[in-house]
Amino acid sequence: MTILFLVVSVLLMTACGAEQNGGGAGDGKLKVTATTGMITDVVKEVGGGDVVVTGLMGAGVDPHLYKASYGDVKKLDRADIIFYNGLHLEGKMAEMFEKLEKRKPTVAISLRIPESQLRAFPGGGSQSHDPHIWFNVKMWISATEVIRDSLIEKDPEHADGYRERAASYIGQLEELDQYVRVQIATIPEASRILVTAHDAFGYFGDVYGLQVTGLQGMNTMSEYGSKDVSSLRDFLVEKQIKAVFIESSVPKKAIESVIEGARSMGHEVKIGGELFSDAMGEAGTEEGTYIGMVKHNVDTVVRALR
């Protein structure tokens, strides 16, 4: 099913959209659809009981490769407001968002981050910046503010509630940012090297003081080859790195081949644990929230590298 077909489907459903959006399941509450789990979590925190939130991408889902289903199209069509990451994270859905924003608020939560603070995407082209902004907690505070203000604009009747809940959540994010800084500082400086399956942790490394290297680039749509595997293998051996990390949304086969390569050269490397990169954990678990996901990642990295 192509993106063009899905976009046409959205437009065809416009005629019945007013009837579907007229109430019922939402009991008059604002209906919100969000793409990634991280965004869905923030909307729930800020929206509270004034919104009904539907997330498109669950645990273990790679947003870089995600293709919208017909069911997703209906969820987007029925929403009063849509939130997505932007910066081409949901690259296969970009055309849909362009069409949808002509009919309803369709908001990229990254829109207020100054370009000067964004990491450059190697090679430039249509994707010129690293989309993994949630690994800089300060940037995620900016995203929370965008969500708050967008909800207020769409639903001013409940503005006080949105402001109050956003303020409380931002306070938790400020505490999280401090937690990350304190924990990472316990790792010996020479050991602050984070090796993962793909380069999703660049912002995390920049702001919290780790050198980050990924087998694949910032986008998992990019292919890796034997040269990438051998280069990372040599890096592990040269730096005598003892632990690398797999990711919940990326197959671990590639990292395992790097480990085998290092072992063949007499250097033992272990898997330090599983990190959540482009998707959170299962719903109902601590890792199924943004704050829990970040804490899990930090604790896992610190245990392995310290």
**pLDDT tens by residue, the chain, 306 residues:** 454 455 545 544 543 444 344 333 457 899 999 999 999 999 999 999 999 999 999 999 999 889 999 999 999 999 999 999 999 999 889 899 999 999 999 999 999 999 999 998 766 555 679 999 999 999 999 999 999 999 999 999 999 999 999 999 999 999 999 999 999 999 999 999 999 987 899 999 999 999 999 886 555 445 556 788 888 999 999 999 999 999 987 878 878 889 999 999 999 999 999 999 999 999 999 999 999 999 999 999 999 999
- Position 233 scores a pLDDT of 92
| Phi/psi at 108 (5° precision) | -85, 120
- Position 16 scores a pLDDT of 45
Please state at what angle helix 290-305 crosses helix 37-47, rounded to 10 degrees. 130
pTM: 0.88
- Position 217 scores a pLDDT of 53
- Position 252 scores a pLDDT of 84
Is residue 258 within 8 A of residue 236, CB to CB? The reply is yes
- Position 251 scores a pLDDT of 78
- Position 15 scores a pLDDT of 39
- CA dist 105 and 80 (Å) reads 7
- Position 127 scores a pLDDT of 61
- Position 7 scores a pLDDT of 52
- Position 175 scores a pLDDT of 98
